[in-house]
Amino acid sequence: MANRIPGLVFLFPGQGSQAAGMGKELAFHHIAARRTFDEADEALGYSLSQLCYEGPDEKLRLTEITQPAILTVSIAAARVLAEAGIEPSFVAGHSLGEYSAHVAAGTLSFADAVRTVRNRGKYMQEAVPVGVGAMAAILMLSLEDIRAACIEAVSEFPGEVCEPANINSPGQVVISGSKAAVEKAAELCKHKGAKRAVMLPVSAPFHCSLMQPAQERLAADLHVLNFHAPQIPVMCNVDAVPVCDGEKSRETLIRQVTGAVQWEASMKALIAQGATQFVEAGPGSVLTGLLRQIDKTHGCLNVEHEATLQKAKAHFGK
């Protein structure tokens, strides 16, 4: 706790940031990272570390492997940063990344989290048959217009679903639901002036009401785990408010499966509460890019391998 840097937030990435080779350098250079991969391998009963280090990419894209893989790389990065004396005063994670945030905050044990997100990936994949659901990214259109397009699309396809799923930044909202309705809404968004409306190559329609079966299965798993009070505030996706209580943490992770990720609102809330510096811990720099769109005055470093770690250490005078 003594090393926590006032105003520093760790951000943890979600699905889509995976790539073969992730975490390999950190594990080579740092025992804390290597031990994290060993813990994951033991908890899961297979060599997740080998899949992270070597791929193949098509296996890493399987949701039930992607989710524990990204979580493991993220926690390895966070532990190496902590070892260097760089610890946050707040944490937040995008979708899957919220589990990484809770591990970093001490809410959940790493072994429990890695097993839970493996099941989360499996449940989400099985909730909707492949090809039935879809997601689309809408760029540079107001949320009000996007919601209107979703409502209009559903009126053309009664009984189907189309909802905002990730409200990522002022210029980027992802919609999710039944394939025909999402395709129609994407087309309507273009007519309403969206710069682009892109169908995403995803295996399931995440963060919408079609995920209700997955939410119920995950709730049963989460109810048997020990949740502790987070040692630092964790910004929750669905409400864009910090949680500091174990039971509340469990409840928000359950609602997150069908609820929209309020990322833009979460970042603005953190800044309003005194966040001044951000580090994206884990693979890729998606969240670094989103923060740039939300608030250009707050920079974000990403730490995923040795070079980026050394840059962060230099920045914080470590």
Which among 70, 55, 68 has a CA at the least distance from the CA of 13? 70
Structure letter (DSSP) for residue 203 = S
Give the per-residue pLDDT at 202: 85
Give the per-residue pLDDT at 201: 87
Rounded Cα–Cα distance for residues 81 and 279 (Å): 10
Give the per-residue pLDDT at 66: 93
Q: Where are the domains of the chain?
A: 8-127+210-315, 133-202
Helix runs in 202-245, H state only: 212-222
Which among 165, 147, 41 has a CA at the least distance from the CA of 94? 165
The CATH number for 8-127+210-315, chosen from 3.40.50.300, 2.60.40.1180, 3.40.366.10, 3.40.1740.10, is 3.40.366.10
Give the per-residue pLDDT at 122: 94
The percentage of residues in the chain with a pLDDT greater than 70, rounded to a whole number, is 99
Give the per-residue pLDDT at 2: 54
**Residues recognised as catalytic:** 95, 207
| CATH architecture of the domain formed by 133-202 | 2-Layer Sandwich (3.30)
Q: What is the pLDDT of residues 36-47, one digit of tens each?
A: 999 999 999 999
Rounded Cα–Cα distance for residues 198 and 115 (Å): 32
Q: Residue 3 above 80 pLDDT? A: no
Q: What is the pLDDT of residues 4-46, one digit of tens each?
A: 999 999 999 999 889 999 999 999 999 999 999 999 999 999 9
Give the per-residue pLDDT at 130: 86
Q: Residue 1 above 50 pLDDT? A: no
Q: What is the pLDDT of residues 166-217, one digit of tens each?
A: 999 999 999 999 999 999 999 999 999 999 999 998 889 999 999 999 999 9
Residue 180's H or E segment, with its range, is helix 179-191
- For residue 128, the tally of other CB atoms under 10 A from its CB is 23
The DSSP-derived string for 77-134 is: HHHHHHHTT-B-SEEEESTTHHHHHHHHHTSS-HHHHHHHHHHHHHHHHHHS-TTTEE
Which among 128, 61, 127, 69 has a CA at the least distance from the CA of 97? 69
